[in-house]
Amino acid sequence: MYNGWIFHCDLFDMKRYSLTQAFLFLLKRDLTLSFRNRAEFANPLLFFILVITLFPLAIGAEPALLSRIAPGIIWVAALLAAMLSLDSIFRSDFDDGSLEQLLLSAHPMPVLVLAKVAAHWLVTGLPLLLVSPVLAVMLGMPSEAQGTLLLTILIGTPILSLIGSIGVALTVGLPKGGIILSLLILPLYVPVLIFASSAIEGAAGGLDVSAQLYMLLSFLFLAVSLSPLATASALKMSMG
């Protein structure tokens, strides 16, 4: 179970690690940690699947209605699943003191933050991308819309992780930060939700949805470039 191979590094030459190496190392370390805590990280995915499978049971077998509200269901579930998993980005590192060691690292903190958020997305966001086609078929989503669904999830879930990391960084020092975290983050998630579900709905109706997708992409670039800076400063404040 303890797979040491993940950590073996051929580039080991006793000099300071380059920034890229440090980034990849931290990414690998976080992926190893989540692999060893599989149960905890399977939780958001399970939640996502459960919520979506419960909708047809509650609403009843009305294919027309289901296929119309499918984009909304999938995206609301993805958003809640992301919120459920956010705390794990920094919580355990904060509790055992690894986070203060990262802050004291010789490498710039925003890059290390980006590595941690990337690992978080690979573990919690990517699985949603893999299961959502099946769930879309189950909800009877028109096949024209399914490609767009995947695109929005591919572009949208990293935004959720990136924005969420700012909120977690701000609340990680508080004993009961969970509620504040939701209040803080949810309003920032709403634009993603609106553009993503509107893109899928448009695609289902045969419309051109490139405007919404470009909008989402611009959110993504904005989040990638700015949120690690905000998260790093917020973490410093949480430590004080």
Partner 1 sequence: MPEVALLKIHNLACVRDDRVLFEHLSLSLCREQMLLVEGHNGSGKTSLLRILTGLKMADEGEIYWHETAISESDSNYYERVIYVGHHDGVKRELTCLENLRLVQAMGNPSAIDLDDALEQVNLYRYGDTPVSNLSAGQRRRLALARLVVTEADLWILDEPYTSLDKVSMVLFQTMFEMHLKQGGIIVMTSHHDIDMPAVDVQRLDLSL
For residues 71 and 204, the answer to whether their CB atoms sit within 8 Å is yes
**Residue 240 beta carbon to partner 1: minimum distance, rounded to whole angstroms:** 5
Tokens of 199: 């893109």
Q: If we measure between CA atoms, which residue out of 188, 130, 200 comes closest to residue 160?
A: 188
> Considering beta carbons, is residue 11 or 222 the nearer one to partner 1?
11
> Considering beta carbons, is residue 99 or 160 the nearer one to partner 1?
99
Pick the binder of partner 1 from 137, 174, 180, 239 (CB under 8 A): 239
Neighbour-count burial for 52-70, b at 16+ CB within 10 Å, e otherwise: beebbeeeeeeeeebbbbb
For residues 48 and 134, the answer to whether their CB atoms sit within 8 Å is no
Contact string (CB under 8 A) for partner 1, positions 20-39, x = contact: -xx--xx--x--xx--xx--
Is residue 4 a contact point for partner 1 (CB under 8 A)?
A: yes
Rounded CA-CA distance 119/71 in Å is: 26
Is residue 103 a contact point for partner 1 (CB under 8 A)?
A: yes
Is residue 47 a contact point for partner 1 (CB under 8 A)?
A: no
**Residue 7 beta carbon to partner 1: minimum distance, rounded to whole angstroms:** 5
**Residue 194 beta carbon to partner 1: minimum distance, rounded to whole angstroms:** 38
Q: If we measure between CA atoms, which residue out of 125, 98, 123 comes closest to residue 112?
A: 98
Contact string (CB under 8 A) for partner 1, positions 106-125, x = contact: xx----x-------------
Tokens of 132: 């959502």
Rounded CA-CA distance 56/73 in Å is: 10
The interface region with partner 1, picked from 99-107, 119-127, 141-149, 187-195 by CB under 8 A, is: 99-107
Pick the binder of partner 1 from 53, 101, 210, 218 (CB under 8 A): 101
Contact string (CB under 8 A) for partner 1, positions 68-97, x = contact: ------------------------x--xxx
Looking at residue 159, its amino acid is I
Q: If we measure between CA atoms, which residue out of 124, 167, 141 comes closest to residue 66?
A: 141
CA-based torsion, 124, 130, 136, 137: positive or negative? negative
Binding residues for partner 1, how many (CB under 8 A)? Answer: 34
Task: Categorise residue 21: left if φ over 0, alpha if ψ from -120 to 50, beta otherwise.
Answer: alpha
Residues of the shown chain interacting with partner 1 in the complex, contacts defined by CB under 8 A: 2, 4, 7, 9, 14-17, 21-22, 25-26, 29, 32-33, 36-37, 92, 95-98, 100-107, 112, 236, 239-240
